[in-house]
């Protein structure tokens, strides 16, 4: 019988992580990538420049609307792509093209003790003007691999921007 609700009651507590995905947005017209400055109130990396992204939440997995049933397993195809498209629009007001390119991943522990698995992707900009999410971000810039070095970024962002430009230009 398929699950009727999402629950961690039967989960192994020592195997629980936040799942977070980020995306480096590449604009083909000028070969630049979007960075956004995190609000000072953020728990992880306050005031640092980053790229858009967010946590996969239970609400994103509506058990009444799976993409398919895989026996008694409920599948949600493209959950990460949908997450990133939604987060980029919420955080920066722009749209992504389809087709994510994998960059890398990192597991870390936030200052509040919560373990996180972060998977990073690159995607091409589709449309829209940047409008930052109020209360979440305070500044943005479209940068190339040299310009990004002038900003106070989360470690790894400059290398991810360089890798994205090399792969997608």
Contact (CB, 8 A) for 1 and 29:
no
pLDDT at 34: 98
Residue 33, SS3 per DSSP: strand
pLDDT for position 9: 85
What does the block give as tokens for 26? 């590449």
pLDDT reported for residue 89: 98
Q: What is the mean pLDDT of each run of 10 residues along the chain (169 residues)?
A: 84 91 98 97 92 95 93 95 98 97 95 94 98 96 98 97 96
CA separation for the pair 60, 153 (Å, rounded): 29
Domains in the chain, CATH or no CATH each: 15-168 (3.90.79.10)
Which long-range contacts does 65-70 make (Cβ < 8 Å, 24+ apart)?
69/2
Please report the sign of the dihedral spanned by the C-alpha atoms of residue 98, residue 82, residue 28, residue 153: negative
- Residue 79 pLDDT: 96
The pLDDT value recorded for residue 158 is 98
Q: Which of 129, 123, 37 is nearest to 85 (CA)?
A: 123
Angstrom distance (rounded) from CA 2 to CA 101: 32
| Residue 140 parent element (H or E) | strand 137-143
pLDDT, residue 26, reads: 98
């Amino acid at each position: 019988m398929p699950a009727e609700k999402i629950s961690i009651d039967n989960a192994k507590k020592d195997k629980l992580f936040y799942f977070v995905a980020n995306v480096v947005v590449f604009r083909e017209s000028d070969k630049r990538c979007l960075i956004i400055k995190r609000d000072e109130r953020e728990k992880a990396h306050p005031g640092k420049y980053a790229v858009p992204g967010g946590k996969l939440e239970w609400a994103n997995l509506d058990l009444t609307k799976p993409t398919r049933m895989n026996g008694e397993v409920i599948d949600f195809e493209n959950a990460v792509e949908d997450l990133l498209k939604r987060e980029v629009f919420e955080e920066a007001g722009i749209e992504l093209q389809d087709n994510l390119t994998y960059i890398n991943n990192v597991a870390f522990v936030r200052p509040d003790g919560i373990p996180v698995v972060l998977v990073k992707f690159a995607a091409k900009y589709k449309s829209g003007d940047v409008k930052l999410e109020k209360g979440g971000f305070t500044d943005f810039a479209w940068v190339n691999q040299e310009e990004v070095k002038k900003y106070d970024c989360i470690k790894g962002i400059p290398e991810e921007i360089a890798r994205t430009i090399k792969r997608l230009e």
